Amino acid sequence: MSRRGRLTQSGSEQREAVAAEVMARVVDEGLGAPLPAGARVLVVDDLDGHLERDLAALGHRVVRWCRLTVGDRPGAPWPGAGPFDACCLRLSKVKAAFEMALHAAASVLPAGAPLWVYGANDEGIKSAGRVMAPVFGPPTTVDARRHCRVLEARRPAAASIRTRLAEWRSFVPPPLPGLRQWVTYPGVFAKGTLDIGTAELLAALPPLPGARVADFGAGSGVVAAAVLRDAPDADVHLIEADALALQAAHENVPGAKAHLSDAWAAVPPMRFDHIVSNPPFHRGKGEDFAVLRALLVGAPHRLRPGGALWMVTQRQVPVGPLLDEVLTAVEVVREDGRFRVWRALAPGD
């Protein structure tokens, strides 16, 4: 496989489509709890919209809740106001995020309303019932096909649930010296700690006084906070697709400007002196380089002439040739056994 081929794989997308199809057939064929015509259904974490389209085609009123912003569909940290007649929840690979989503769903479902959790066998759907049981009671399997499974439970009349986002906020020690106590939420990358890749990136990054800086894929805001700690007059922008991560970053770095955006899509037209990023390389269970591709495609148009992109990647990610295609003066400025920190410049005038 070519280097470029490795960066165009999206193995999770097919799994998303298959799991959504199995879930839609449960509703269509009446394999689970019956729904009234035109039921109001909350669909959670249907990233590509497969299930939304299928349920809408069946005549149901579908309301989307997804933490992630996808294209022009913004994410949200908490679902909209209920009640809903049912909820279809895509299994998360992160147990804490899955647990929070269950409580959020329960907060907008009336007693007796069905919850369906769906996912692939190799994502852990068979054991998801252990997480569901404290909130919804033990589920039953209503369908299993194409290496996927759908679990059903009913909202109990009496349940101990956390009904507000604020109840899921937690505080951890500052990830770096000189920072405030750190806010995090379930499923936010690194759980408020300093991961190895970000530590390598910050070790290579010089102070950026007076610069306009984009923290691309900001997570909970560690990079942005470090930039402002070392250069309080910097104009720092948080760019993040996960609405809940951006909520944490906004609380952690109140001096930065926040943009909820799928890559560059919702970022106002502006150019930066520096773009700094530890981009994610996974979606669900599999590798996914979509965020990296979007970063690299947009960087030449978002950097001022001579501006710099600073990026950390795992050593095996074949990013060098792609950087050479879009930017100049590409170099590895720091590396260890697992990570490389790259710096590349936008062409000058």
Domain with 36 in it: what CATH number?
Answer: 3.40.50.150
Per-residue pLDDT band at 157 (split at 50, 70, 90): confident
Q: What does the pLDDT look like over 272-292, one tens digit per residue?
A: 999 999 998 755 555 677 889
To which residue do tokens 């490389």 refer?
Answer: 340
Same domain, 190 and 149: no
Q: What does the pLDDT look like over 174-228, one tens digit per residue?
A: 999 999 999 999 999 887 789 999 999 999 999 999 999 999 999 999 999 999 9
Same domain, 145 and 11: yes
Residue 119, SS3? strand
Q: Which of 119, 146, 165 is where one domain is finished?
A: 165
Q: How many domains does the chain have?
A: 2
Is residue 253 scored above 80 in pLDDT? yes
Percent of the chain residues topping a pLDDT of 90: 87
Give the dihedral sign, CA 178/180/181/183: negative
Same domain, 225 and 160: no
Q: Which of 134, 165, 196 is where one domain is finished?
A: 165
User: Across residues 29-46, what is the average pLDDT?
Assistant: 95
Residue type, 335: E
Q: In the prediction, which pLDDT does 3 show? A: 37
Least Cα distance to 96 among 147, 162, 155, 142 occurs for 162
Same domain, 156 and 217: no
Q: In the prediction, which pLDDT does 13 show? A: 77
Same domain, 156 and 185: no
User: Across residues 67-92, what is the average pLDDT?
Assistant: 96
Give the H/E segment covering residue 87. strand 86-90
Q: What is the 3-state secondary structure (H, E, C) of 281-337?
A: CEECCEEECHHHHHHHHHHHHHEEEEEEEEEEEECCCCCHHHHHHHCEEEEEEEECC
Residue pair 275/294 in contact (Cβ under 8 Å)? The answer is: no
Least Cα distance to 256 among 211, 297, 311, 307 occurs for 211
Residue pair 11/282 in contact (Cβ under 8 Å)? The answer is: no
User: Across residues 28-42, what is the average pLDDT?
Assistant: 94
What pTM did the predictor assign? 0.92
Give the H/E segment covering residue 263. none
Torsion angle in degrees (nearest 10) through CA of 8, 9, 12, 14: 100
| DSSP state letter for 241 | S
Q: In the prediction, which pLDDT does 225 show? A: 97
Least Cα distance to 95 among 75, 137, 123, 115 occurs for 123
Least Cα distance to 115 among 64, 65, 153 occurs for 153
Same domain, 24 and 147: yes
Same domain, 216 and 303: yes
Q: In the prediction, which pLDDT does 256 show? A: 98
Is residue 243 scored above 80 in pLDDT? yes
Same domain, 113 and 208: no
Q: Give the structural domain span for 248.
A: 170-345
Least confident of 49-53, 67-71, 192-196, 207-211: 192-196
User: Across residues 230-235, what is the average pLDDT?
Assistant: 98
Same domain, 176 and 47: no
Q: Which of 165, 195, 224 is where one domain is finished?
A: 165
Q: In the prediction, which pLDDT does 318 show? A: 86
